[in-house]
Amino acid sequence: MTTLQDTVRPKARSSGWKATVILILLVPVLWSPLLLFRYVLYQPFNIPSGSMMPTLVVGDYVFAAKYAYGYGRYSFPFAPSFISGRFRAADPAYGDIVVFRSPKVDEIDYVKRVVGLPGDRIQMRQGQLFLNDKQVARVALKEVAAGSACGGETGTRVKRWRETMPNGASYITYDCVDNGYADNTEVYTVPPGHFFALGDNRDNSTDSRFKSVMGFVPMDNLIGKVTRIFWSLDSEGELRVDRLGKVG
């Protein structure tokens, strides 16, 4: 004699099997937007050092727009080393904050600000940035407690400057030490296909001023343009609400 229970069980197993198959088929569909976002549009990065203070601080999480400068060897993980050039290539603008692969150590990514483009002459004189023999405009701001920006010594103050590039890009830089190690440099002439990058924390940044460590950066090493801080906590673990949003 057939019972109701006997007739229901096979249908349950059939439904379960169908649901499993549907779920498996849906996985690529569900993951596609995430993969598109991560590998084609925006890549998240964590800021590990204070070289870009005060714009970016240690622990910030930022999005870099990968489409901003085109796609090349470093746009995608595990891309073969023989790839050269960039698809839909575009050069950065003065003042852009960019993420790029180190020209010296292939496994390291840096985040810096673009201050020189191909053909430009860059020099630091007494801590002031000169572009093509003209001082980049800057205005002194009120000094603030240095905190970790200048080594974290109690009571240390840091000078702040509002620097404005010829295209109008404006940002704040830190100056921890007068006439520091890299405050007076030779003239750097940016070669074709490269850019010159500086950190906003001028006395505590490894950047293009140091030839043996970085030097000029090939355009092909660009990964993306930093467009947004999407997570930032202060020293007490509280969310910095006022620092969320677009990076100036």
Long-range contacts for 66-72 (Cβ within 8 Å, ≥24 apart)? Answer: 66/39, 66/40, 66/41, 66/42, 66/223, 66/224, 67/40, 67/41, 67/224, 68/92, 68/224, 68/225, 68/227, 69/98, 69/219, 69/222, 69/224, 69/225, 70/222, 72/220, 72/221, 72/222
The one catalytic residue in 51, 75, 208, 232 is 51
Q: Is 225 a catalytic residue?
A: no
Long-range contacts for 40-48 (Cβ within 8 Å, ≥24 apart)? Answer: 40/66, 40/67, 41/65, 41/66, 41/67, 42/66, 42/224, 42/227, 43/99, 43/223, 43/224, 44/230, 45/99, 45/109, 45/111, 45/226, 47/111
CA-to-CA distance for 224 and 221, rounded, in angstroms?
9
Asked if residue 54 has a cis previous peptide bond (ω within 30° of 0), the answer is: yes
The one catalytic residue in 11, 66, 102, 112 is 112
Q: Is 11 a catalytic residue?
A: no
Which residues are the active-site residues?
51, 112
